[in-house]
Every structure is written in C-alpha cells, then in structure tokens.
C-alpha cells in the first residue's frame, strides 16, 4: 500500500479553491510543496498511478493557449485516476455566442468536481469559484496570478537548494504583464526569499516595492547577487504599445547569455516558465546549458498539479482518515 505523508508542520488543507498564492499562508504553500515532493518520491519508486481521485471528474477549461499547464493538469488528474474533460475555446460553442459562465455551468452539469481554468481576463477563476459548486483551480488569469507556475518554480528552487529563506531570486523581464511574476513574488516572499524584479522601467509596475521586492533596471549590476534568475517571457500578445525600442535592444540589456552566466554566481540556477523566446530573454546556450533547470520545472509541474488536485479533493479528511480511505493505493 502506498502512503502519502502529511506536511511536517502538521498543517491541514482547508481551502476549496486554489486561486492565487496571495491568499495562501507560508504553511499552506509548504504543504503543497511537501505533497508534491511525496508524489515525486512515489513516481521515482515506480508508483505513478494512484487511486486518490477515482470516481471524480476534472475539467480543463482553457480559454487561452497552453502547452505545459494544460497537459500537466490533464496528466496529473489521470495519474490520480480522475476522469478528465478537455475544453478548447476555439472549437467550442463560444463561437456561437455562448457566454463564459454558461459554458462553465454546462460543463459542470456533467458532474465535474474540479475545474481548472485559464482565461485572459484577470479574476475569471474567482468569478467561477463564486458561481460553481466545483472546486476551481486557477491555471493563469490575465496579468493577475498563475499559482501553480509559482509553486513549481519555488519547488524547483527548493529541490536544488534545500531552502528558500535567505536566497536572492531575480525575476527578469516583463513584470508588468506577468502573472507568473506575481505568483512568484507572493510565494517567495512568504517563504523568506529576497526578491529583485529587473527589467526596463516601462515593464515594471508602479509601486511594486509595496510587495516587498527590490527593483533594478540594470541586470549586470545584480548578476553577482542572485542565487536564481527567473527569465520571464516578453508577452507580446498582452502589450498594447511599444515598451522598448527593439527586441535586439531588449536582448542586449536584459537577455541572459553566456557572458552574463560567466559573471553570475558559479552555481546560479536559471529558470524560465516557458514558452521561451530563444534569442530574446535567453540564448540557446543558456537555455540548454548546465545552469538551466527549465525542463526540471516542467517535470515538477506535474507533481505540483497532482498535489493541488489531491489536496483540494481531500480537504475535508486530509488528516482524519487512513491512507486507504484517501485512495492512496495504486489504481
């Protein structure tokens, strides 16, 4: 029989929805990370299929394109033995005028227990959480938050450094439009990291210091201080005006390349949420080089999404039942 350990802190998961890291405590974030680590340990032992969500349905409602998040949520649900429903906006009845809410309500009417939603409008998952009976997991809403991306980034750092507190993490690039930046900031600060946001001043939100971060407009000045550098994609699809003169100039001042790696700490970790713009925020030499943990992030994303689905499903009896009752036997 397979068992999953509870968090070392003994904290219980009580939330029905996962909407953002802003609303989670440090203990709740650590609980998700610990649960993901346990799923990763089990997978390494060959226990890749668990019965925890057997008899439940997870719906992926993606109103924006996705490769990593959508695929890994779908696989995570299958690894936990849930049935899955995949919804793609472009081929749906939205094109016939059906509303976002009617779409979600109709899919829920098929007996869905957990809804994973990505939407270009900030707050869309929060609206659904008020309207649906199902648990809602935010898979990225506009420029607001992308909590499971923040969690998998933090998990990857913790796995490599065995801690978060005391580390200096730079988030470089398009902070203004980045939901990944916001989730990273909330999560990293709650766990005690020093966070520097770095980019052209036009791509740094006003008053971002209020979130407890430092601001830099000069990547070369901060390179030597960073334990981890998370390179955020320039979100051309969200930019409604020119925020810098040219892509070439952006890459010159803020792109991570071999020369900048050589001027960084010898053990610096290079992260990127993906998709990456090779030659813009990161050169192929760095993306495919020894400091890069980009594909580790993708692997860990599966474990994080399993942990989130599992904890939300089990919120009522997380610590109050045996592992067999919680379905933690192989399917």
Rounded to 10 degrees, the C-alpha dihedral 23/27/28/29 comes to 80
Q: 187: Cβ–Cβ under 8 A, 6 or more apart, which residues?
A: 21, 24, 29, 150, 151, 153, 154
Contact positions with ligand CP (CB under 6 A) in 136-155: 140, 146, 149
In the set 67, 218, 321, 322, which binds ligand CP (CB under 6 A)?
67
Q: Where does this chain touch ligand CP (CB under 6 A) — which range of 32-40, 64-72, 78-86, 182-190?
A: 64-72
Give me the least distance between CB of 90 and ligand CP, in Å please. Answer: 15
User: Is 130 part of the annotated catalytic residue set?
Assistant: no
Question: Of 40, 144, 146, 326, which residue is the catalytic one?
Answer: 146
In the set 12, 17, 68, 79, which binds ligand CP (CB under 6 A)?
68
From CA 206, how far away is CA 59, in angstroms rounded? Answer: 36
In the set 273, 276, 327, 328, which binds ligand CP (CB under 6 A)?
273
294 in Cβ contact with 270 (< 8 Å): yes
CA angle 309, 8, 69 (to 5 degrees): 25
Q: Where does this chain touch ligand CP (CB under 6 A) — which range of 39-47, 66-74, 129-137, 245-253?
A: 66-74
Give me the least distance between CB of 180 and ligand CP, in Å please. Answer: 7
Give me the least distance between CB of 301 and ligand CP, in Å please. Answer: 8
In the set 69, 129, 230, 300, which binds ligand CP (CB under 6 A)?
69
Give me the least distance between CB of 134 and ligand CP, in Å please. Answer: 21
Q: Is the Cβ of residue 38 or residue 174 nearer to ligand CP in the bound state?
A: 174
User: Is 68 part of the annotated catalytic residue set?
Assistant: yes
Q: Where does this chain touch ligand CP (CB under 6 A) — which range of 46-54, 60-68, 189-197, 278-286?
A: 60-68
User: Is 96 part of the annotated catalytic residue set?
Assistant: yes
In the set 2, 48, 66, 239, which binds ligand CP (CB under 6 A)?
66
Interface mask toward ligand CP for 172-211; x: CB under 6 A: ----------------------------------------
| Catalytic residue annotation | 68-69, 96, 118, 146
Q: Please report, as ranges, the residues that interact with ligand CP according to CB under 6 A.
A: 66-70, 140, 146, 149, 273-275
């Amino acid at each position: 029989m397979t068992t999953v350990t509870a968090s070392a802190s003994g904290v219980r998961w009580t939330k029905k929805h996962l909407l953002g890291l802003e609303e989670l405590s440090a203990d709740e974030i650590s609980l998700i990370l610990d649960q993901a680590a346990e799923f990763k340990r089990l997978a390494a032992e060959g226990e890749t299929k668990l019965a925890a969500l057997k008899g439940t349905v997870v719906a992926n409602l993606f109103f924006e394109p996705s490769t990593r998040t959508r695929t890994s949520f779908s696989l995570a649900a299958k690894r936990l033995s849930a049935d899955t429903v995949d919804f793609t906006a472009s081929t749906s009845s939205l094109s016939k005028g059906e509303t976002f809410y009617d779409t979600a309500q109709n899919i829920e009417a098929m007996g869905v227990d957990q809804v994973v939603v990505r939407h270009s409008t900030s707050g869309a998952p929060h609206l659904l959480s008020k309207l649906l009976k199902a648990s809602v997991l935010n898979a990225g809403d506009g420029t607001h938050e992308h909590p499971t991306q923040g969690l998998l980034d933090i998990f990857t750092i913790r796995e490599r450094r065995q801690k978060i507190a005391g580390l200096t993490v730079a988030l470089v690039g398009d902070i203004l439009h980045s939901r990944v930046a916001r989730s990273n900031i909330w999560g990293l600060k709650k766990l005690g990291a020093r966070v520097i946001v770095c980019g052209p001043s036009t791509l740094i939100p006003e008053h971002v210091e209020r979130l407890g971060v430092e601001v830099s407009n000069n990547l070369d000045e901060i390179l030597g201080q960073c334990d981890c550098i998370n390179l955020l994609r320039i979100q051309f699809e969200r930019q409604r005006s020119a925020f810098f003169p040219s892509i070439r100039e952006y890459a010159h001042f803020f792109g991570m390349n071999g020369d900048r790696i050589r001027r960084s700490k010898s053990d610096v970790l290079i992260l990127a949420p993906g998709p990456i713009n090779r030659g813009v925020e990161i050169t192929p030499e760095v993306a495919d080089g020894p400091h890069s943990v980009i594909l580790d992030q993708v692997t860990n994303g599966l474990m994080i999404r399993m942990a989130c689905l599992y904890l939300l499903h089990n919120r009522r009896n997380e610590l109050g039942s045996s592992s067999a009752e919680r379905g933690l036997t192989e399917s």
